[in-house]
């Protein structure tokens, strides 16, 4: 393998060309064999994703229907009612915490469920753009490296750059990002479980940072704390800090009133805990708005349907890719004939499309077989449609 190197005049962009002899037939065949192994793995994984997804979707839908039939809505609730212990309850009320969250380093205090400190450092960033081509009987790959400075929340290791000289980043940040969570979070008279608190993630940027009594080495500009006196002309290694919050829980006017949430969970005394349905699915739902019980369960049904279709498409894509990699060896055997390889390539893509679509439908039908046999039969018929069409056209071709 030979390598050539060229650099532009600016020093922040250069190209590197790697060249090697065009791979022979046996080398291409070896690479294709490796792809077949990966393809078989993806093919097997697709069956698991498609089959288990149907069972998950049906169990979730049944659990939501069960929950809606048993939920007790607490309207204008002001006290505890022990008669609802171990029952699934629904209520909409304001979030409440016992004390503000503090960041003493920046004199930020806020009555909220979560307070996040996001730290960014001004660093060199390397971007790559590659193109492959054949020249003088050799296979070449040209990679262009470009270097720019950007604010990044993670430390970028400049030792991995193609050209580290002149583009060196610090190895660590002077300040770390952190998220502080209130120890006790209440909704009305109920204490939320950790699972419910984890669902409070509607982070919003904190505007109007305090500018008095802060460290003299800090500069406030556009809702950022800068560890530099020149925030509009940053240098590599400079740090800036921003804050965001989730779930306002105070009665003050800044930055707003307490957040109203809707919760569906099991009442255990003064605590709200997960409710386990007969299908084995735990119901522990929280929405950052005022919703009725029917609206909460309707939203969950929508989310379940969206996840089901997303996993169906993902499972089909895995199967299509697995079949394509498995049969690619046929293309390798004929790729030295220009016209034939184009026809074979198109045929293999159509074959992978038909096989993956039919097998995906059959796998989905298998997941529905014990729950809705009629739907499973219809899916099987749809899956076998390409085969039936092919067989119906076979006599006509033979007669011709």
Give tens-digit pLDDT for 63-108: 999 999 999 998 755 566 778 889 999 999 999 998 999 998 888 9
Percent of the chain surpassing pLDDT 70: 80
Alpha-carbon span 159 to 309, nearest angstrom: 42
- Evaluate if residue 187 carries a pLDDT over 70: yes
Residue 226 clears pLDDT 70, i.e. is over it: yes
Going by pLDDT thresholds of 50, 70 and 90, the confidence category of residue 283 is very high
**Residues in the chain, overall count:** 400
Domain residue spans in the chain? 22-60+305-392, 72-123+147-291
* Predicted local confidence at residue 354, as pLDDT: 83
Q: What digits encode the pLDDT tens for the residues 103-144? A: 988 889 999 999 999 999 999 999 998 887 777 667 778 889
Q: Which of 244, 209, 246 is nearest to 114 (CA)?
A: 246
Question: What is the spatial distance between Cα 281 and Cα 273, in angstroms, rounded to a whole number?
Answer: 13
Q: Which two tokens stand for residue 105?
A: 């380093």
- The answer to whether residues 111 and 248 touch, using CB atoms and an 8 Å cutoff, is yes
pLDDT score recorded for residue 385: 66
Mean pLDDT of 364-390: 67
What does each C-alpha distance from 101 to 107, 158, 178 come to in angstroms? Answer: 11, 36, 12
Name beta bridge partners: 224: 221
pLDDT at residue number 10: 46
Of 9, 8, 12, nearest to 236 (Cα)?
12
3-state SS record for 37-66: HHHHHHHHHHHHHHHHHHHHHHHHHHHHHH
Residue position matching structure tokens 């998950």: 56
- State phi, psi for 195 to the nearest 5 degrees: -65, -35
User: How far apart, in Å, do the first and last CA atoms of the chain sit?
Assistant: 55
344 pLDDT above the threshold of 90? no
- Is 180 or 15 the better-scoring residue by pLDDT? 180
Q: Are 146 and 13 in contact (CB under 8 A)?
A: yes
DSSP string, 289-357: S---HHHHHHHHHHHHHHHHHHHHHHHHHHHHHHHHHHHHHHHHHHTTSHHHHHHHHHHHHHHHHHHHH
Q: In whole angstroms, what is the distance from residue 144 CA to residue 131 CA?
A: 9
Statement: residue 295 has pLDDT above 90: yes
pLDDT at 26: 58
Lowest-confidence region among 16-20, 78-82, 200-204, 323-327: 78-82
- Categorize the per-residue pLDDT at 5 as very low, low, confident or very high, splitting at 50, 70 and 90: very low
What phi and psi values does residue 218 have, to the nearest 5 degrees? -100, 150
The pLDDT value recorded for residue 394 is 54
Q: Count CB neighbours of 160 within 10 A.
A: 8
Whether this model's pTM surpasses 0.95? no
Tell me if the bond preceding 347 is cis, omega within 30° of 0.
no
């Amino acid at each position: 393998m030979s390598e050539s190197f060229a650099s532009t005049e600016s020093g922040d962009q250069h190209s590197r060309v790697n060249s090697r002899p065009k791979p022979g037939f046996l080398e291409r065949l070896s690479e294709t064999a490796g792809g077949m192994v990966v393809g078989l793995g993806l093919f097997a994984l697709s069956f698991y994703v498609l089959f288990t997804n149907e069972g998950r979707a049906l169990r979730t839908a049944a659990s939501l229907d069960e929950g809606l039939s048993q939920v007790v809505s607490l309207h204008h609730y002001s006290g505890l009612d022990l008669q609802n212990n171990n029952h699934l309850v629904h209520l909409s009320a304001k979030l409440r915490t016992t004390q503000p969250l503090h960041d003493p380093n920046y004199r930020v205090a806020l009555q909220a469920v979560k307070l996040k400190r996001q730290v960014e450092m001004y660093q060199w960033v390397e971007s790559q753009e590659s193109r492959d081509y054949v020249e003088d009987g050799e296979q070449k790959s040209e990679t262009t490296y470009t270097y720019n400075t950007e604010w990044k929340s993670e430390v970028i290791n400049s030792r991995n750059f193609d050209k580290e000289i002149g583009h060196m980043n610090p190895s660590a940040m002077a300040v770390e990002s952190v998220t502080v969570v209130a120890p006790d979070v209440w909704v009305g008279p109920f204490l939320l479980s950790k699972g419910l608190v984890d669902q409070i993630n509607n982070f919003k940027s904190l505007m109007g940072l305090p500018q008095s009594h802060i460290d003299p080495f800090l500069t406030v500009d556009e809702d950022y704390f800068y560890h530099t006196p020149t925030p509009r002309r940053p240098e590599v290694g400079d740090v800036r800090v921003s804050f965001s919050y989730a779930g306002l829980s105070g009665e003050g006017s800044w930055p707003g009133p307490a957040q109203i949430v809707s919760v569906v969970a099991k009442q255990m005394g003064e605590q709200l805990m997960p409710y386990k349905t007969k299908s084995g699915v735990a119901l522990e739902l929280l929405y950052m708005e005022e919703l009725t019980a029917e609206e909460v369960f309707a939203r969950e049904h929508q989310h379940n349907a969206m996840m089901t279709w997303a996993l169906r498409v993902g499972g089909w894509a895995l199967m299509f890719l697995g079949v394509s990699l498995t049969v690619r060896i046929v293309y390798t055997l004929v790729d030295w004939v220009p016209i034939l390889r184009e026809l074979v390539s198109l045929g293999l893509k159509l074959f992978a499309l038909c096989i993956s679509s039919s097998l995906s439908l059959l796998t989905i039908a298998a997941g529905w077989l014990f729950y809705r046999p009629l739907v499973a039969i219809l899916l099987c018929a749809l899956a076998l449609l390409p085969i039936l069409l092919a067989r119906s056209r076979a006599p006509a071709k033979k007669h011709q």
